[in-house]
Chain A
Amino acid sequence: MESDFEKLGPTPKPSLTSLRDWDMKLLSRYKPFYAPVCDQCCLCTYGKCDLTRGKKGACGIQIHTQQARTVLLACTIGAATHTAHARHLVDHLIQKYGSDYPIALGNEVNVEMPHARTVVGIKPRTLADLGYICGYVEQQLTHCLSAVSTGQEANYLDFESKAFHAGMLDHVAMEAADMAQIVTYNFPKGDAKAPLTHIGTGVLDLAKPVILSIGHNVADSVEIIDYMEKHNLGHPSETVEVAGLCCTAQDMTRYHEQAKIIGPMSHELRFIRSGISDVLVIDEQCINTGSLVEAQAVKTPVLAVSEKACYGLPDLTERKVEETVEALTTYRIPGALVLDPEKVGAIATLVALKTASTRQKYKVIPDSSTLSRLAASCSECGKCERECPINLPIAEAVYAAKRGDLSKLSQIYDLCLGCARCENGCVHNVPVHSLIVGAAENKFRAMKHMLRVGRGPILDTEIREVGAPIVFGEIPGVVAYVGCANFPNGGLEVGKMAETFLKRRYIVLTSGCSAMSIAEYQSDGGRCGGPGLYEEYPGSFEGGGLVNLGSCVANAHITGACMKIANIYARRPLRGNFEEIADYTLMRIGACGIAWGAMSQKAASIATGCNRLGIPVILGPQGSKYRRLFLGRRDDGKSFDVIDARSGEKSSAVAQPEHLLYAAETMEEAIVLTAKLCIRPNDTTKGRMIKLTHFVDLSKRIYGRLPDDLSLYVRTEADIPITFKDEIVDFLEDKDWRPSQTPSIDPTLLPRLVRGS
């Protein structure tokens, strides 16, 4: 590795407290807002302790501190999950390709791993260097977890500082994981013209055997594709369909575009139950833990391939491939744990080939008369509806199905999260989720869309092109739709939001399940018919570009792009210099993340990592269940003061940006807020005018009037959007608005960056 590529900054390999001062600056602007999910603590044998309304637990903890502690736990879980993923990939790939395998992304990427440079302080050269990065992160996460122990950390702000640390580390680990697979598997290396690939529950040729992989770790799926090519079975889909769900699917198509994506996590259960898969490979993360039982019901053999998710299956790693294939295809065992990716490649293929012909009778979705018969035992108690996490009107739909009307169930299909909690509530064992899928069989079979294969990092050359317009505000924002599929109103809302900002020529980034949901949206608002957004918009990092970066671990390229703007465009050194880079991002880069369906601890840590870097994130309403948000108060203007680095004078930058982590009630609120959270103190007058044009226009469309807080964002008359000038001038007069006497020219929160200090 190289470690002298730049002057060393103040915090290489930061410890738990190295960036505490920066965290406290953020936390004084954006104070933690807690919404407890549980009023008690039950983590030790003193408890359960009742912490309601200021009561203390036996260890002395209070409810707000307990929330912060739980958030740290969640962020550490999330970061550890990605780190373990990275560690597995790196170790596996070192074994396969050697520790000296180079980290090389081609001529257009010089800043190959901005997180490694900024946080760890190194310029990685080989796979072995990625192992070194994982080692640092593993050590720090152990410290983070230890702080959660009873009788350890006691201050809620210090818990939050450590949660920031875990979030930042998460991005370092994600970058290492994605880089390992990009370079060794020859994934696209920042290719804006990465191919389009198929996505949907209806993309498979059901006459062929089907291998389905679920999870996040692509190593085993790669071996399946390699095995097929090596044994004259052709590429994926030629003789055997190779498909995936969730992030593994994204990465399979980065390896081979003929692999197919079934969809986001919400399609998992419905697809397993359809019986279409002849073998199911579960690797790691986001797997429905009932998968094994569900697969057994439709005679789909299961291969568990990760030490982290063994599912109680017998470990047959050391057995001969033929023996394992025989055990699975004769159903002597429902599944096997096989911890050797090469063997998994062979076993999965051979099992699919052998079972495909005998499994046809299980590849059935019940017809309408069967569905009505299944619904007939419903006693109309309504408990199914009370189990639904998003309160879908399931009960009335099941009652209608009893009478032979399946239309209401079919409508629910579009919004359903696919968790099947509805079935838990039913005392008569009505298979409610299966009814929903069965009623929508036509949609299930017809669902075919196109998604642009995940391209990986943003090129240095692209950063040079757009660095200035982003920093000055002339590209109104960089908006990233990321995260899971726990959507409040179905995945179409993500597509609608993305389209709103694409049309306005924001740069729209996406990854993971959100990228898949965007593929399901057509610009006419429907699910089928015309071209999708990936076909309409280019995959380049430019205004109006729709950039699918890849799986969840590719989220590191979003934060990485901000670091690269600071480095490549503004020449700020990255090496061990996190605080300055975060300050630059917060003050200058109009980026905003939207995790509309955020569900997992991983999403919590990713968002928290974005926050430490100065990037605001908007969650769906369910995001309030993460227990903590970071909210600014525009009525406390002083909390937003910045320093002008040229003069050292204080100046006002109220609500720029206003919040760091927010849960929006509806898509409409999220849309207006997205435009607002892209406003930055450093915007030029032209840039601010462009940003305000969008903020005002969206406010008028959705709320029917100018934003109440508009006067905060108009620094001088030159900022006023021409389109709404008269109306805004009148509005400002009513508000007794005066031009700012001290607009910030070179804003910063760091006194040490003042010239001559």
Chain B
Amino acid sequence: MTAVVPWETGNVFGPKTAVSIKGDAVGRLMKAAKRPLLVVGAKILEEEVDGSSMLSYVVDLSNSGQIPVVATAHTLKPLSNAGIQPALMGLVELTDRLRDSGWSLDGKGPHDLIIFAGITYRLQSQMLSTLKHFATHLKTVSLDRYYQPNADFSFPNLEQNVWIENLQKIIQALKPQ
């Protein structure tokens, strides 16, 4: 496997770095997860494809996999308007809770896979670092375009069209066969 250089080239942490992964594999990972959680940040509101917001991909993703969503920052309102009912937590606050192996969003047992989407690169990197060191009970995956070395799994650095293809593959994999 070829090593991936982090999107921010100086963002080099240490010996343990994310496994570079493709959309269909992420789909399988999410499908296999028993207690996944999708964390959606404000960058999702900025990123556009052909004039429409990336929000629709997140909504599709959540619906396809029946995955509960946490909206961070000010994504709650647009996500709610798009028809899903996310929980609201600050990203730092959520990461803090996730360190606690006894905590879960619905109180029904700990999460096993945390999926990050649309979170500003440097803050996401730091939160993934926290989870890498202090939440070894769960796996993390970044769905953003840029390689996040602190996740367990991350896309490599992708062109936008390739990224969209990968997101579509995840949605496809999650849909009931």
Contacts and interface: CB of A to CB of B under 8 A. Distances in A.
Contacts of A669: 72-74, 90
A34 B93 contact: no
Nearest to B91: A665
Contacts of A633: 96-97
Interface in A476-490: 488
Contact of A63 (B122, B127, B133): B133
A176 interface: no
Given A704-B80, A708-B88, A36 B9 contact: no
A704 B119 contact: no
A621 B122 contact: yes
Contacts of A386: 7-9
Contact of A39 (B8, B14, B92): B14
Given A33-B96, A621-B120, A624-B123, A53 B136 contact: yes
A625 interface: yes
Interface in A574-618: none
Given A35-B127, A621-B123, A53 B7 contact: no
Interface string A610-638: 00000000000110110001010101000
B108 interface: no
B83 interface: no
A488 B120 contact: yes
Interface string B61-105: 000000000001110110011000001101111011101000000
Given A624-B122, A624-B123, A704-B80, A36 B133 contact: yes
Interface residues of B, number: 40
Given A39-B14, A52-B14, A52-B133, A666 B74 contact: yes
Interface in B15-51: 15-16, 41-42
Interface in A172-207: none
A631 B96 CA distance: 8
A357 interface: no
A38 B119 contact: no
Contacts, number: 126
B77 A64 contact: no
Interface string B112-128: 00000001111100110
A53 B16 contact: yes
Given A35-B127, A673-B90, A622 B122 contact: yes
Contacts of B15: 39, 50, 52
Contacts of A64: 133-134
B132 interface: yes
B172 interface: no
A665 B8 contact: no
A668 B133 contact: no
B168 interface: no
A425 B9 contact: yes
A665 B13 contact: no
A389 interface: yes
Contacts of B126: 35, 37, 624-625, 663
Interface string A41-80: 0000000001111100000000110000000000000000
A705 interface: yes
Contacts of B95: 33, 35
Interface string A660-681: 0011111011000100000000
Contacts of A624: 92, 122-123, 126-127
A471 B23 CA distance: 55
| Residue among A63, A621, A702 with max Cβ neighbours from chain B (10 Å) | A621
Nearest to A662: B92
A624 B16 CA distance: 20
10 contacts: A34-B134, A38-B13, A387-B10, A390-B122, A621-B120, A631-B92, A662-B90, A663-B92, A663-B126, A665-B91
Interface of B: 7-10, 13-16, 41-42, 72-74, 76-77, 80-81, 87-88, 90-93, 95-97, 99, 119-123, 126-127, 129-130, 132-134, 136
Given A37-B126, A621-B123, A673-B90, 11 more contacts: A34-B133, A37-B129, A40-B14, A53-B136, A383-B9, A391-B121, A425-B9, A624-B122, A631-B92, A665-B91, A704-B80
